[in-house]
Amino acid sequence: MANKKTLTNPARVAAILSTLQKTYPNATCALHHKSAWQILVATILSAQCTDVRVNLVTPALFKAFPTPKAMAAASLPEIEALIHTTGFFRNKAKSLQGAGRVVSEEFHGKVPQAMPELLRIPGVARKTANVVLGTWFHIADGIVVDTHVLRISRRLSLTNQTTAEKVERDLMRLVPQSQWIDFTHRIIAHGRALCIARKPRCADCPLEPLCNAPEKTFSSH
């Protein structure tokens, strides 16, 4: 097994990034949205839930409460009824109601474009803030680390960390900032298409020659 320094050398990282770009040139956020507020709400709902499920729920939610002010004025039972199928709906309803209140009262109804301000919104941690900044505002402040990014970054030996915060720090050192946003979208697309959690499709994977994951189902080297 190659050592950490070899696995994270610039040439290998560049090869991984180039392969991802060629394989998923049009990868983008899978959560349906038409505004910064909508992507914020959708991302809060996506915790422990699939994007497909969130996309089924959000049209009715956005129609009922189209603005932060409307969400803030909604009752918890009203919100809960609309988001029930996303799981953890009581906590998510409190977060959405609180997010609506903070955005409408503290930020004059507009989702802020800076990490410190976003982190003041209920239900928002670095992952959600990075999604909003990267997807809507095209600001690369960090790298979104969801379950796909964490799993695949470890499989590709880009990090040996196990927490999202530490994985993000490692990735930010390795990946050029100009590619942070696209890197996330491409890794997530790769996780859904090929690098599946339980049975990765290694024989079909263009990154296989660069991968030394112990759970590989196929190896050409």
pLDDT (tens digit per residue) in 43-66: 999 999 999 999 999 999 999 999
Kindly indicate the confidence band of residue 8, based on its pLDDT and cuts at 50, 70 and 90: confident
| % of the chain with per-residue pLDDT over 90 | 92
Residue 63 annotated as catalytic? no
User: How far, CA to CA in Å, does 192 sit from each of 51, 69, 164, 167?
Assistant: 11, 35, 19, 19
What pLDDT does 221 receive?
A: 63
Which of 36, 43, 44, 31 is closest to 98 using CA atoms? Answer: 44
Burial of 149 (0-12, 13-18, 19+ CB in 10 A): buried
For the segment 17-34, the average pLDDT, to the nearest whole number, is 98
What pLDDT does 209 receive?
A: 95
Residue 141 annotated as catalytic? no
**Contact (CB, 8 A) for 187 and 148:** yes
Half-sphere exposure of 99 (CA within 13 A, CB side): 31
| % of the chain with per-residue pLDDT over 70 | 97
Kindly indicate the confidence band of residue 220, based on its pLDDT and cuts at 50, 70 and 90: confident
Is the dihedral angle over the CA atoms 179, 182, 185, 190 positive or is it negative?
Answer: negative
Amino acid sitting at position 171: L
Same fold, 4-27+143-210 and 36-135: no
Catalytic member of 127, 141, 170, 182 = 127
What pLDDT does 1 receive?
A: 44
- The CATH-assigned architecture of domain 36-135 is Orthogonal Bundle (1.10)
Catalytic member of 51, 92, 141, 146 = 146
For the full predicted model, state whether its pTM sits above 0.95: no
What pLDDT does 218 receive?
A: 76
Domain-wise residue ranges, the chain: 4-27+143-210, 36-135
Whether 74 shows a pLDDT value over 50: the answer reads: yes
State how far the Cα of 73 lies from the Cα of 50, in Å rounded to an integer. Answer: 27
State how far the Cα of 175 lies from the Cα of 63, in Å rounded to an integer. Answer: 39
State how far the Cα of 5 lies from the Cα of 166, in Å rounded to an integer. Answer: 17
What pLDDT does 181 receive?
A: 98
Write down the residue that tokens 């759970």 correspond to.
215
pLDDT (tens digit per residue) in 149-198: 999 999 999 999 999 999 999 999 999 999 999 999 999 999 999 999 99
Give exposure, 150-180, as e/b (b: 16+ Cβ within 10 Å): bbbbbbbbbbebeebeebbebbeebbeeeeb
What is the CATH number that goes with domain 4-27+143-210? 1.10.1670.10
